[in-house]
Homo-oligomer: A and B are copies of this chain.
Amino acid sequence: MVRSTRSKLSSNKPRQVRDAEATKAQIIDAAEEEFAKHGLNGARTEAIAKGAGITTAMIYYYFQSKEGLYKAVLQRPAIEMYQMLQQLNLDQLPAEFALKKAVRAAIAYEAAHPQRGMLWFQEANQTQGKYFKQGNWQETFAHIIKVLERGMAEGSFRQLDPLMISMQIAGVCTFYFNAHENIKHLTPDVDRLSPEMIERYTTEAVNLILAGVRQQK
């Protein structure tokens, strides 16, 4: 079985010399891509090394084991997602506007890290989510649930099941990117990850979700 191991991140430029932090970051970048595609078992340390422009021994030098590297890779999105949500200050906005803002931010996050959704799915399916400390993700959903409950209390949202709806919102925000490799075959001539297309997806998503939860008058 032939697989291209060349990462677009690191393929052209020669690496800096002997900068431990930079090297570690490059390994994690390459590893995130490889783990997102192939999961813990399917990922090849050789592919990660090649993507980072180092030898496989460096993985063990910095991360002790393949699993250690995997843990390091998973830590990053968990922290970033948490921080992103904090910064939105959803509590200080009317529910409808808060939801709009959260949906836009979530899709923008996915667009900036299109491979992370799959990383999360791989983690769920292969290791029963044991490395993903549930706290951060509980936080994520808690933020959306809170907005939905507030909207219902305010009377701007209809009566709905906040947890179920928040998962469906997550589905809307992530599907486009998780399934990108699948759906790109549907319209081969359009670049579905171009800013224009992502903006179009975002607009439609906001419209669908807002109309879907709004109280009819």
Residues on A lying within 8 angstroms of B by beta carbon are 1, 3, 36-44, 118, 120-121, 123-126, 128-129, 132, 134, 137-138, 141, 158, 160-161, 163-165, 167-168, 170-176, 178-187, 200-201, 204-205, 207-209, 211-214, 216
CA distance A40 to B2 in the complex (A): 12
CA distance A208 to B186 in the complex (A): 25
Q: What would be 12 A-B contacts, judged by CB atoms less than 8 Å apart?
A: A41-B44, A121-B178, A124-B179, A124-B182, A141-B186, A160-B208, A164-B200, A167-B175, A171-B171, A171-B176, A172-B172, A209-B212
Across-interface contacts of A43 in B (CB, < 8 A): 42
In the complex, the answer to whether A126 meets B170 with C-beta atoms within 8 Å is no
Choose one: B40, B161, B181, B187; the contact of A204 (CB below 8 Å). B161
CA distance A178 to B191 in the complex (A): 25
Across-interface contacts of A207 in B (CB, < 8 A): 160, 212
Across-interface contacts of A184 in B (CB, < 8 A): 129
CA distance A213 to B180 in the complex (A): 23
Nearest-neighbor residue (CB-CB) of A171 within chain B: B175
In the complex, the answer to whether A137 meets B175 with C-beta atoms within 8 Å is no
CA distance A43 to B44 in the complex (A): 13
Across-interface contacts of A205 in B (CB, < 8 A): 164, 168
